[in-house]
Amino acid sequence: MFDVAIVGAGIAGLICAQRLQHRGYQVVVLEKSRGLGGRMATRRLQGTWADHGIRCVEDQGKFSQALVETLLEQGVTHLWTDTLHRLDSGKLTESDRHPRYVAADGITTIAKFLASGLEIWRDQRVQAIASMPESAWNLTLESATLEKKNVTAKSLVLAIPAPQAALLIEPFAEQMPTLLAAVQSVEFAPCITAIAAYAPKPQSQMTEIPWRAIAGSEASDLAWIGLETTKHLDPSQSELTPVIVAQSSAQFAERYLEAADLQTVGQQLLATVQGLLPWLSPPEVLQVHRWRYGFVTKPIADTCLSTNQPLPLVCSGDWCGGNQIENALQSGWAAAEQMAILMQKLGIFGGDRSEDFADLLRALSFSYRQP
């Protein structure tokens, strides 16, 4: 029996778990994938890698600023670029200028940093939740091999996209109608990502590429193109095998989300890249990933949602307050604070370690460095 079960090892779930664990609660994180980080995702391919979800980290507010500073101090991230290009009607221009940071071994290194010291059960999809008479949640888990097991906890945090949270809490509609209505009001847009690896090219040719990242215009099918190999700490080696990530607009993803032939969809996304760098194509490897819940388009105003009926439950994620890393961090933090209040009301006390977000990150830096 854990004090808190946290569903989802994305940024929000990891921050919430760390905060509660630091307050002295016994915490377990349940994650359906084998990897950590959720939409903070890195795909390994051809001896290299590509960030196919979050593109980079940047200062978006108080929480992300503290994270960026700590990650830089710890050598987890480095500056990637301070120039974003924009593609409008075939014309490439320099658009906004501010520093963007990446990790030398892929953006999931940041998730690994945030996960240090936590008990995380991977490859465990929470299929259903039930409240037991002995005042505990019972979670039914399923792994990729269809093996089933259960876990019990006194309280529960759902740090997953709102539509996935809604499925789990729908059976409790009578006990938590307001919370369920708020969760159901949230809307997400999908995104399709194409990851393309090309045949090695001479370094001179690669360094002539004037951009590292391009944002598409509102109306276009493309939202983002990233030259992934420039994210490496020593691009002189990696640039020889170019890897490009192309991410679709929401409209494009809505059109092709259920397409049976994703390779053709990926090629369509890469057509713009082909126009910009005709000497690069065709890709040697093309992988396509569907983000069904990619970007929040209609968030709620609160930083988390909570109830103690029938038992303590808190919902968290970027959709609580916005649609970016800053919101996920803030929501994870707020969810932990709210859960501590709910548990104290029930007489379940952790230690009383008051700390702010920067203190928590400093403590994580220490455990991250421990073997």
Least Cα distance to 70 among 56, 59, 83, 54 occurs for: 59
Between the alpha carbon of residue 133 and those of residues 124, 313, 324, the distances in Å are 24, 16, 38
Between the alpha carbon of residue 367 and those of residues 18, 293, 363, 371, the distances in Å are 11, 32, 7, 8
Least Cα distance to 340 among 18, 41, 90 occurs for: 18
- CB nearer ligand FAD, residue 83 or residue 205: 83
Task: Compute the distance between CA of residue 1 and CA of residue 136 in angstroms, rounded to an integer.
Answer: 8
- CB nearer ligand FAD, residue 12 or residue 156: 12
- CB nearer ligand FAD, residue 41 or residue 179: 41
Bridge partners, 313 (sequence order): 156, 307
- CB nearer ligand FAD, residue 46 or residue 297: 297
- CB nearer ligand FAD, residue 108 or residue 241: 108
CB of 249 to ligand FAD, least distance (A): 11
CB of 237 to ligand FAD, least distance (A): 25
- CB nearer ligand FAD, residue 140 or residue 205: 140
| DSSP string of 123-144, one letter each residue | S-EEEEEEEETTTEEEEEEE-T
CB of 147 to ligand FAD, least distance (A): 15
- CB nearer ligand FAD, residue 54 or residue 71: 54
Least Cα distance to 193 among 223, 217, 167 occurs for: 223
208 touches 227 (CB < 8 A): no
Count CB atoms within 10 A of the CB of residue 90.
8
CB of 2 to ligand FAD, least distance (A): 15
- CB nearer ligand FAD, residue 6 or residue 343: 6
CB of 8 to ligand FAD, least distance (A): 3
CB of 320 to ligand FAD, least distance (A): 8
Which residue is it, tokens 């950590």?
Answer: 36
Least Cα distance to 26 among 350, 370, 269 occurs for: 350
Tokens at 68, concatenated: 């960026």
136 touches 1 (CB < 8 A): yes
Q: Which residues bind ligand FAD (CB under 6 A)?
A: 7-13, 30-33, 38-40, 53-56, 125-126, 159-161, 164, 191, 193, 247, 291, 294-295, 317-318, 323-325, 328
CB of 19 to ligand FAD, least distance (A): 14
CB of 33 to ligand FAD, least distance (A): 5
77 touches 101 (CB < 8 A): yes
The rounded radius of gyration (Å) of the Cα atoms in the chain is 21
Q: At what angle do helices 177-184 and 162-169 cross, to 10 degrees?
A: 150
CB of 190 to ligand FAD, least distance (A): 8
- CB nearer ligand FAD, residue 54 or residue 280: 54
49 touches 228 (CB < 8 A): yes
